Amino acid sequence: MDQILTGLELILQVQNIAMMIIGLIVGIVIGAIPGLNVPLAVALALPFTFQLSPLAGLSMLVGIYKGGTYGGSISAILINVPGTPAAAATAIDGNAMARQGKAGKALKLSIYASIFGELVSDIVLILAAAQIARFALSFGPPEFFALALFSLTIIGLVSGSGLTRGAIAGALGVLLSTVGLDPIEGEVRLAFGIYELTGGLKFIALIIGAFAISEALVQVEKIARDRLIVNVLEFSDRPQDNQVTMADLKKVFPSILRGTPLGIFIGAIPGIGSSIAAFLSYGLAKKFSKEPEKFGEGSIEGVAAAESANNAVTGSTLIPLLTLGIPGDVITAIMLGALTVHGLIPGPTLFQQQGDFITAFFIGMLIVSCLHFVIAIIGLPLFIRAVRVPHGILFPLVVVFCVTGTLVATSSLFDVFVMLFFGILGYFMVKFGFQIAPLLIGFILGPLVEVSLRQSLVISDNSWMVFLTRPVSAIFILLTLVIVVHTIWQRYKEVSVNEN
Amino acid sequence: MSQAKLDFVAGLTLFCLAGLLLILIPGQVETTEGDTLTPASLPKIATTFILLLAAALVIQGYLHRREDGETGLSNYFSVYVFVAIGVMFIYVSLIPYLGYVPSTALALAALMFLYGNRNLTQIVLVCLVAPPLILLFFRYTMLVLLPQGTLMEPVLKLFAS
């Protein structure tokens, strides 16, 4: 009880609440704008958090994450262009409803389903995290190595760019993480005589470059090629088309109840992400629906299922980050960077050493979800306008914020050039069918992989068997092998079927 | 671009870069004798991994070279992208000389034009308002001073006096 009161005292500060509100508004607006996505928003906000207290900074990032995940549904419903990949499933029925003049109903339903998913996910995070952290306290270097290897493999495989490309991007991330001082012996590596590289590549430069500048380059190409025209559907004048009735809620509740745990479960597994959760939940809702024929034609169950699942990911995806120090996706990887900058190292010891901070953060998550509901309902008419923001103003400002943010965070023009280099790298990766997420996760997990591997060999007298003699480590190594072999086998079968 | 061609080009590029890096690594990392893993080990492992996977991509592309399947990925490289990259590099290079506000205004004008904005009033308004606003935001809320520019210092001193 004392800890809860201390947590409340810490989180209920004006700065923290203000940052939650700013984060939510920025997140919803950016989520609603086609072409901008949540990782880009979180990456751009990261330099600002360095000047804030850890709680205020993280509150803002959580607000952007939650707001952005929901915000994607606004453009998905109104113009059939998902603002975020997570809203792709929402677009199917949401836009069909909008074409029938029921945009208001679809938008409000997506708010209710999103907030329900979010709140339950936060509660699961709060209940599960401490238990997992307690268990993880017994982990040593071999366990952390096996866990990092497992996460890297999963993220590489399920990134959507295929086994080979995912693995290449992950390995490239690990390689880039080795630039600079070796974490154990202090030797300078891969600096090529450039003094600024001896300190290593800056995380912030990689994040902003790879996610924001690359997106700005992709968009300049799209605009040059297709000239983006946004046609927003009009709202119906009939009140029943813009309101969610009790009958509607009763109808969609089973879909929300199925989608929420599914989203929570998928969020807790590194690498899978909210778009897969939304599509799985959508499929499940269709399977159990009494009116499956209405799916794709404007089913309210379809919208609710997709939205509850994609927002339910937002809380549980923090479980591996906070308890094990393993980021489950790009956004949690950026949050890991934010925590590290403030001297907080995510992992089981964080719960031991910073109990008050964790309690305050958990209470903050619940407050963000409640504020999300209020802001989304009140601000809906304004957020709809975000869909129409001209790209001719928006993306030049994104580029300026990328440069300014990196400059402010690193105080070095060299790092701004490095950020631009990562932007170009990210652009070419996208052009050649590579995902950027494994690159980032590889960069984040690289030092953990290296340090835990070398420490494991030191404590075991250079015996590689140390990874197989400890149960937790052996399980993760085995799981990694099973997943790799299974993926290769699946790919082989696909190729065989295609050739026949 | 077909998937096979994409695999082949990406694989070959990565193969060459990884090969080059493998040659360069010994000269870039001082290694200590005796340990199973040295500071050079992880860079070598990661590069070798990329080299092998890139070779797999090349072989994959070569074996499927007669298949037509389109990737859905565009092989359209707009000149606008390269111009945008150029503008960004020039922008960052100008900051130490012109200072944050003038270089940002110039970059914004060029980028807005590149992003298809042809509304002169909008361009002028954004260029005049946004950079000083960002500068003031960082100065007063984040307490961070953005560069004033060596070339602008005499002008600023003149105003100050």
Which of A171, A189, A219 lies closest to B50 in CB terms? A171
DSSP letters, A406-462, are HHHHH--HHHHHHHHHHHHHHHHHHHTT--SHHHHHHHHHHHHHHHHHHHHHHHTTS
Which of A188, A393, A400 lies closest to B104 in CB terms? A400
CA A388 from chain centre, in angstroms, equals 25
- Whether residues B43 and A190 touch (CB distance < 8 A) is answered with yes
- The one-digit pLDDT tens for each residue of chain A (500 residues) are 777 888 888 888 999 999 999 999 999 988 888 777 788 888 888 888 888 888 999 999 999 999 988 888 888 888 777 766 778 888 888 888 888 888 888 999 999 999 999 999 999 999 998 888 888 888 889 998 998 888 888 777 766 667 788 889 999 999 999 999 888 888 888 888 888 888 889 888 898 898 889 988 988 888 766 655 555 566 667 777 778 888 888 999 999 999 999 999 888 887 667 778 888 888 888 888 888 888 888 889 989 999 999 899 988 988 888 888 888 778 888 888 888 888 888 888 888 888 888 999 999 999 999 999 999 999 888 888 777 778 788 889 989 999 998 898 888 899 999 999 999 999 999 888 888 888 988 898 888 889 999 899 888 888 888 899 999 999 999 998 998 888 888 877 877 776 66
Report pLDDT for B35: 65
- The radius of gyration computed from the CA coordinates of chain B, to the nearest angstrom, equals 25
Q: How far is CA A395 from CA A402, A406, A416, B109, B136, in A?
A: 10, 16, 18, 12, 21
Using the Cβ of B131 and the Cβ atoms of chain A, whether some distance falls under 8 Å is answered with: yes
Instruction: For B57, name the nearest residue in chain A, comparing CA atoms only.
Output: A164
* Tokens at B139, concatenated: 């100065």
Measured between beta carbons, which residues in chain B are less than 8 angstroms from residue A48? 142
Buried b or exposed e, range A25-36, using 16+ CB within 10 angstroms: bbbbbbbbbbbb
A244 touches A303 (CB < 8 A): no
DSSP state of B27: H
Using the Cβ of B129 and the Cβ atoms of chain A, whether some distance falls under 8 Å is answered with: no
- Whether residues A227 and B116 touch (CB distance < 8 A) is answered with yes
Split at pLDDT 50, 70, 90, the class of B72 is low
Buried b or exposed e, range B10-35, using 16+ CB within 10 angstroms: bbbebbeebeebeeebeebbeeeeee
In this complex, how many residue pairs, one in chain A and one in chain B, have their CB atoms less than 8 Å apart?
181
Using the Cβ of A392 and the Cβ atoms of chain B, whether some distance falls under 8 Å is answered with: yes
Using the Cβ of B77 and the Cβ atoms of chain A, whether some distance falls under 8 Å is answered with: yes
Put simply, the chain B residues between 18 and 37 with a CB less than 8 A from any chain A CB are 21, 24-25, 28-32, 35-37
AA identity, residue A113? A
- Whether residues A221 and B77 touch (CB distance < 8 A) is answered with yes
A77 touches A110 (CB < 8 A): yes
Those residues with Cβ within 8 angstroms of residue A119's Cβ, 6 or more apart along the chain or in another chain? A366, A369, A370
| Closest CA–CA distance from residue A298 to any residue of chain B (Å) | 28
Report pLDDT for A50: 82
A174 touches B46 (CB < 8 A): yes
* Tokens at A261, concatenated: 């745990």
A324 touches A136 (CB < 8 A): yes
Instruction: For A217, name the nearest residue in chain B, comparing CA atoms only.
Output: B81
Those residues with Cβ within 8 angstroms of residue A408's Cβ, 6 or more apart along the chain or in another chain? A47, A50, B138, B142, B144, B146
Using the Cβ of B12 and the Cβ atoms of chain A, whether some distance falls under 8 Å is answered with: no
Report pLDDT for B69: 59
Tell me how many degrees the CA angle A410-A411-A414 measures, rounded to the nearest 5: 80
From the number of C-beta atoms within 10 Å of its C-beta (0-12, 13-18, 19+), residue A80 rates as middle
Measured between beta carbons, which residues in chain A are less than 8 angstroms from residue B138? 404, 408
- Whether residues A220 and B46 touch (CB distance < 8 A) is answered with no
